[in-house]
Amino acid sequence: MRKAIFAGLCLLSVFLRPAVVATSAEKVVLNRGDGTRARAIHRIPLYAEAEAGEKREKITAETSPALPFSMRGTCSECHVYEHAYDVIRKGWHFNAAEPNVPAGRPGQPWIHVDAATGTQIPLSYRAWPGTFRPDQVGISPFKFTEMFGRHMPGGGPGEMDTTEDAEITRQMVSGKAEINCLSCHDADAAHDQAEYAANVEKQNFRWAATASAAFAAVTGSAEKMEETFDYRMPDTVTNPELIPQVPTVTYRVNTFDHKDNVFFDVSSGVSADRCYFCHSDINVQEHGTQRWQADEDVHMTSGMTCVDCHREGLEHNTIRGYEGENNGSVLAARSTCRGCHLGDESGRPEGGRLGAPVPEHKGIPAVHFERLSCTACHSGPWPESEADRCKTSQAHELGTHGSNKAPNALPHIQYPVFAKATGEVSKITPNKLIWPAFWGTLSKDEKVQPVDLATVTKVVGAALKGITVPRTGDWAPLKEEQIAQALKALGGEAEQKPVYVTGGVLYRLGDDGKVLPPQKHPAAAAYMWPIAHNVRPAAQSLGVGKCIVCHSTDSAFFFGNVAADSPVSTLTAGGMKQYEFQGASHSRTWAFAWSFVFRPWFKVVAIGSVAIIGIVLLLYGLRALGAVARVLAEQE
C-alpha cells in the first residue's frame, strides 16, 4: 500500500515538475518590473566578458589578475541577456548605427574639428540631412568610438566588429565598448563618467565601464599595448616601458561581500546628473563657461528631472518629446509641451499633467500656435541682434579631464536660430546651427562629397603648414591664397574638382589656378537642429505683454543676424537674417512689422467707431420702441 502511494507520488512529481519549471522560465523571461516603485537593491556577482556560448567567469576578490566586469555579463543574470540586452541595444541611445532605424527629427551631430585644416564637419550615423556618415570621411566604427565614445553610453558603433584590417587586432586588444548601464543608472555619487571618457580615449573600451564605477579604478592604456596583448595575461608584457601602461583594474577594498557579491547602487529613476554629462550646454556669449551665471531649465528648478518627460521602458526607446514623434509609445504624444500643458484629445482632463500649469495665452491670436512651436517663445536664450554662441557636452567634451575651456574653442555652435522645421510639423522652432567647413570634391552634376579625413590631414595639413593654430582652439585664419594652395595639393580628376566648403559658400579653383570668388552651394548650407532647452519661465517668454517684442522693425526674432562662421575672415562679415531661415522675404517681414506702429491707433479708431454706431443704434432703437409703445397704447 505504502509502495503504491510512494509510486503515485513519484509519478505526480514527474508531471508537476515541468509546470513548475515552465513557470520559473516565464518569470525569468518576463524580466519587466512588477509595478513596485521601491528601488530594487542590486547585490550581485560581477562577471567578466565572455564570447558567445562560453561560460562567464565570475570575478571575486581573489580573481587575479583583476578583470574588468562586463555589463552584459553582469546584468544578464536577471535582465536576461539573450532577450533584454538585444532589446535594449535597439533603444534610441544605442541604435544610431542600426540600418533600419527611422532617423526622426534632426538632432545634434557629432562634430569633427581640426583647426589646422579648417575643418568643422557634422557627422552622424542617422540619416539627418546635412550630416555625413562617418564612413564617408573614412572613419570606421572603431575610430568613431575612440573619437566620440567619451560622450556615449556604449553600444552602437562601439560594439560593431571592425572591418578595417589594421583595426582587427587592435579591437582584440581594446575590446568593445559595451552598453554601459551605469552611465545612466548608477545612483552612486562616486560614479565618474569622466573616467569612462578618459578610458575610451585611451582605447580602454573593455575597461571603461569598470573605470566609471565607484568601487573600481583602472590605470594603463590599451592604445599603447602591442597587438599581441592579452588582458587576461598581462604578465606577458615584458617591455619595461610598457609595463606601467598595462590596463589594470583595482577594486576598492571591501567591494566584495561574504558571497563575493557587489553592491550596485543603481536606480531606474535616472538622476539629472547622469544626463547632464552628455547633455549640458552653456551660452558662452552671455556666461562664458561659468554655469553659476546661467539659469537652469524651469522644469528642473520646479523639481522635475529629465526622465519625468524623457521616459522609456525596458526597450530604452527614449521619448524625445517633440510633436509628431513616432516613438511607438502612447506616452510620446502626452510627453510633448502640448501633451503636458494642454492635454491630448483623448478625452482625459486637459493639461496639468505632472502639475504642469495650463497656459491661457491671453491676447495671443491663434495663428501663432499654428506657425510657431511652443519652444519658439519659451526655449533657448533670449534672442539678440546677433545669434549667441554655445558650447555643448558632445561637441566640446564638457566634463572631461583637460577639456578646452576657452569660449571660442571649435566647433562654433550658434543659437537661437529661428527656422522652419522640416517634416510633417512645419513650424518655426529655435535651433542650434553650425556652418560646415570641409574639403571635398565636386562632381559634374554639382554634388559635393567630403574627402576622407586622413587625406585631409596629410595633404591639406602639409599644404597649410605654417598657419598658426590659436591655443584657444579657435579657427586658424585662412586666406584665399592658402585655400588655393590646399586645393591644388588635393588635385583631383577632371570630373571631380577639389573644393573647400566654409561659412555657407564653396571655393573652387579657376583655370588660372587661383581660387574663384566664393559661391553659394547647397552643400555649404548650415546644419541646424531644433532645441527645446533651456525652457524659460512664462514671464520670460517671447511677446510677454508686448507684441512688439517680435513684431517690430528691429526685433531680433525676425531681423537678428546669424553671422557666417569660417576661418576665412572676409566671410564672417556676411551671414543670414533670421527671417531668411523662416522662408520669409525682407519686404513683407519689414512691412508687417512696421504696421504694428499703427496698432494702438487701429484700436482707438475701431472702438470709437463701434461706440458711435452703438449710440446711433441705441438712439433710434429707443425711438422705434417709443413708436411701438404709442401704437400699442393706441395713441395717435
Task: List residues binding other proteins (CB under 8 A).
Answer: 360-367, 369-370, 545, 588, 591-592, 595, 599, 601-603, 605-610, 612-614, 616-617, 619-620, 623-624, 631, 634, 636
Buried b (16+ CB within 10 A) or exposed e, 488-526: ebbebeeebbbbbbbbbbbbbbeeeeebeebeebebbeb
Cβ at position 372, least distance to other proteins in Å: 13
Cβ at position 304, least distance to other proteins in Å: 24
Residue 285: partners with Cβ closer than 8 Å, 6 or more residues away? 388, 389, 390, 407
Cβ at position 333, least distance to other proteins in Å: 19
**CB-nearer residue toward other proteins: 233 or 632:** 632
Rounded Cα distance between 292 and 302, Å, is 17
**CB-nearer residue toward other proteins: 127 or 606:** 606
Give the residues across from 36 on adjacent strands: none
Helix (H) or strand (E) segment spanning residue 563: strand 561-563
**CB-nearer residue toward other proteins: 32 or 588:** 588
Do 176 and 232 touch, CB atoms closer than 8 A?
A: no
Task: Give how far Cα 330 sits from Cα of 321, 327, 333, 627, Å.
Answer: 12, 8, 6, 66
**CB-nearer residue toward other proteins: 538 or 591:** 591
**CB-nearer residue toward other proteins: 41 or 605:** 605
Place of cell 573605470: 211
Rounded Cα distance between 178 and 183, Å, is 11
**CB-nearer residue toward other proteins: 78 or 612:** 612
Cβ at position 360, least distance to other proteins in Å: 4
Cβ at position 544, least distance to other proteins in Å: 10
Do 460 and 486 touch, CB atoms closer than 8 A?
A: yes
**CB-nearer residue toward other proteins: 402 or 545:** 545
Cβ at position 334, least distance to other proteins in Å: 19
Task: Give how far Cα 5 sits from Cα of 2, 9, 12, 393, Å.
Answer: 5, 6, 10, 72
Rounded Cα distance between 315 and 382, Å, is 37
Helix (H) or strand (E) segment spanning residue 198: helix 193-201
**CB-nearer residue toward other proteins: 259 or 603:** 603
Q: Which residue in 235, 238, 276, 277 sits closest to 150, CA to CA? A: 277
Rounded Cα distance between 140 and 142, Å, is 5
Cβ at position 537, least distance to other proteins in Å: 18
Cβ at position 536, least distance to other proteins in Å: 19
